[in-house]
Structure 1
Amino acid sequence: MTDISNAQPRRLPEPAAMVTLIKPITWFPPMWAYLCGTVSSGVSPFSSIGLVLLGMFLAGPVVCGMSQAANDWCDRHVDAINEPYRPIPSGRIPGRWGLYIALAMSALSLLIGWQLGPWGFGATVLGVAAAWAYSAEPVRLKKSGWWGPGLVGLSYETLPWFTGAAVLAAGAPSIYVVVIALLYGIGAHGIMTLNDFKALEGDRKMGVNSLPVTLGPEKAAWVASIVMAVPQVVVIALLWLWDRPFHAAGVAAVLLAQFWAMSVMMKDPKGKAPWYNGVGVVLYVSGMMISAFAIRTLGAGA
C-alpha cells in the first residue's frame, strides 16, 4: 500500500470528487417527482418538453446536487467519523472548496429557476432555502429526527411535484395535485429516516438526534414503515373516492409489495435499511406515477 502520509495536500478539487460530492444517485427522487407533477397537471408534457427537461435538470443535478454539496460541507466533521473517504474529509476537495461549490450551485439554481417563470422561481427559492436550513447552523434541522427528514421529504417529493404541475399549467395546481403531492412528501419522511441508518455511529457522537439514534434501529424502522405506509393508504382511499378504482388498485398493489419488503427489513433493520431503500423506494415512486396519471384529468377539470 502506498504511503500517503507525506503527500502534499491538494490546492484544487479533484474533478471526480466534485461529481461524487453532488451524489448523482440522489437526483432521481426529485426529478421523478417533477415529472409526476407535469403528468398530473393535465397538460401533455410533450407540449412543453423544454420546460419538462429544464425542470428535471434543475430539480436533480442542480438543486439536489447543491443540497448534497451543502450537506457534505456542513457534515464534514461527522463524515470524518462515519465515512472518512468522502471527498471533503479525505482532502480530495480541499480547504473551503466544498462551501464554494455549494454556494455557486445555489446561485446557479436561482438563475435556472428564473427561466421557469414565477412559480418555478418561487419554488427554487424555497428549495435552496430548505437545503441550507437542513444542513447549516444555526438552524440545522438535520439535528432533529422529526423535522429534518420531514423537510427533506417535502423538498424531494412535494415541492418538485407541485413545481412541475405549476410550471406546465402556468398557474396554481389543482387541489387534487396539492393533496397527493403533500401525502407522498409526508411519506418520504420514512425513506429519509431509513437513510439515516448509515450514519448512526457518527450522528450519535456528534449530537445529531436522528430517529435511529433516539429510538434505536428497531423502533426507528417501525416508525419509518408506518410513516411511509399511512399516506399511501390515504392516497388509495382518495383515488377510490375520486372514481379512480383501477389506479387505486395499482397503488394498493405496490403498497402490498412494500409490506413484504418491510417484513424483510424488520429482521435486521440496521443491516437491511440500505436494501429497503433500493427495493421499497422503487415501489413507492411507482405508486407516485400511478397517482399522477389518476389525477391528471381531475386537475385539468379543476
Structure 2
Amino acid sequence: MATDQQVETARGASPFIADCSLKDVKLPNGITLRVAVMGQGKPLVLLHGHPQNHLAWRKIAPALSQHYTVVMPDLRGYGDSDKPPGDADHRCYSKKVMAQDVAQLMDALGYDRFAFVGHDRGGRVGHRLALDYPDRVERCVFLDIAPTATMYAQTDKAFATRYFWWFFLIQPEPLPEKMIGNDPAFFLQKHIEGQLKTPGATEPEIFADYLRCYRDPAMIHAVCEDYRASATIDLADDAADSDQRIRCPLLLLWGEKGTVGQLYDVVATWQEKALCVSGEALPCGHSPQEEVPENVLATLLPFLAEDEE
C-alpha cells in the first residue's frame, strides 16, 4: 500500500467497526477520500449510497474481512471525504468522475483488480466503474437499484411519489439546499424511516454519525449535485455508451418491501445493461446490508468466491 504521507494519512481506528482503520487518501485528481480498511486478502470495494457513509457496511464488513481486504470509501461529497462545489453541468458529481475516484483510490492503495459492491448511489457509481474500467472490476454486486436511465424513462405517479427526492434534489441551487438546511435532522430521519422497512436497522449512534455529516452545508450541496448529475450529465454519458455492457458477472440484491422491488423487474432491467446477470429479492426495504445482513452475506460470499474455486 502507499506510504507517502502526501498521499495517505492515517486517521486511527474506527469507533464503530472493530479492527477497522481509517485513513485519508489524496487522489491524483485532487480529491481526498476518507477510507475505512480492514481484513486481508483479495481487495473488495464497498461503496455506500445516500444518505449514508461507509458505516452503512458495519454489519457485513467484519465477516467479509475474514476473506478479503475490505475497502470502504466515503463517496466524494459524503461523510468525511472532500466536498467540492458543483459546476455548471454537474460534471464534478457525475458518476463517471466518481468512478474515477474509485479507480484512483485503488491505484493509490496498490490494487489493480478488485471486486465491487455498491448500494444506492454507490451502485450507480459501480455501473459507470464497470463500463469505464472493465479490466479492473472482477465482479459486481448492486444493492436495490435499477439503472438510472430506466428509472427516469419509466417515471410514473407511483415512482414520483415514492422517490420524490429524485425530483426535489435536482431543482436549481439553492432551493433544495436551503430547505434541507433548515432542518437536516428532520429530512434525514424521514428519509431513512421511509426507505428502510426494518425497525431499528439504523442504531441511534449510527444515525447520529450520518447526521453529523448531513448537517454540513457542503454535504447537502454535494447530495443535490449528485442527483442533479444523475438527471443530466449521467444520462448523457449513458446515452453515449448505450452499446456498452457490463462484462463481469453482476449480482443484484434488492428489498422486496421497497420501491425498486415493487415497481421493477430488477433482473430484467439490468439484462439490458450487462452480459451476465443474476439476482434475488430479500425480506427488507432499501438497505439490505443494514436490514438483513445475514441474508446479504449468505448470497454475497458464494458469489464473490466463484472465481476462487
TM-score over 0.5 (shorter chain): no
Q: TM-score, normalised by structure 2?
A: 0.29
Pick the structure with more helix per residue. Answer: 1
- Which structure ranks higher in relative contact order (CA pairs < 8 Å, sequence separation ≥ 6)? 1
Pick the structure with more strand per residue. Answer: 2
